[in-house]
A and B are shown apart, each in its own frame.
Chain A
Amino acid sequence: DQQVKQNSPSLSVQEGRISILNCDYTNSMFDYFLWYKKYPAEGPTFLISISSIKDKNEDGRFTVFLNKSAKHLSLHIVPSQPGDSAVYFCAAKEEGGSEKLVFGKGTKLTVNP
């Protein structure tokens, strides 16, 4: 039973265009959402996060949108750069003291020059 779903295993975009990565979740107790980026042979690195009390968070070229009613979030990268090519994981966490982050399976983004 996947609580966090990234239904697109891969995405290919042209340099300079927008990349949109999507994530759906089923657990209504999730109150914090994060995006991690992972390059081959490296550990995931934190990219951007959003609390459930917000519907948008922006950090430079990266913006995360949260639609609680649809249990959907998306990561927008504008403009996309070749260095953005990586696997992007969506993760979610319930309110409370648990350390458990629930991860999606990831989306491999390729930005073509």
Chain B
Amino acid sequence: GAVVSQHPSWVICKSGTSVKIECRSLDFQATTMFWYRQFPKQSLMLMATSNEGSKATYEQGVEKDKFLINHASLTLSTLTVTSAHPEDSSFYICSARDLRTSSYEQYFGPGTRLTVT
């Protein structure tokens, strides 16, 4: 099946700094990518939907100026957590699909664990 990678797999940063997380589709072109956040023992929460070449659509309650999403190519989307605070510590997961195929499957990355100290 299709593979989605994330980098880094884990990161520790100091409060007030920014962190960039990359999401790559390795063997298919992702016209749409999704970013989720998951706190311990909770379910995944959709943060935003990013379409290649256009602005991301954020879910209600997600600050677009704090979580910057860029989807400049069909294989790469980035999530930048700006001015990170300890409450941003979470497991960030991306997923991708190719709307040009008939596949209904959404492929998920392995996740990035962010710890803000």
Asked if A pairs with B, the answer is: no
**Chain A positions near chain B (C-beta within 8 angstroms):** none
**Chain B positions near chain A (C-beta within 8 angstroms):** none
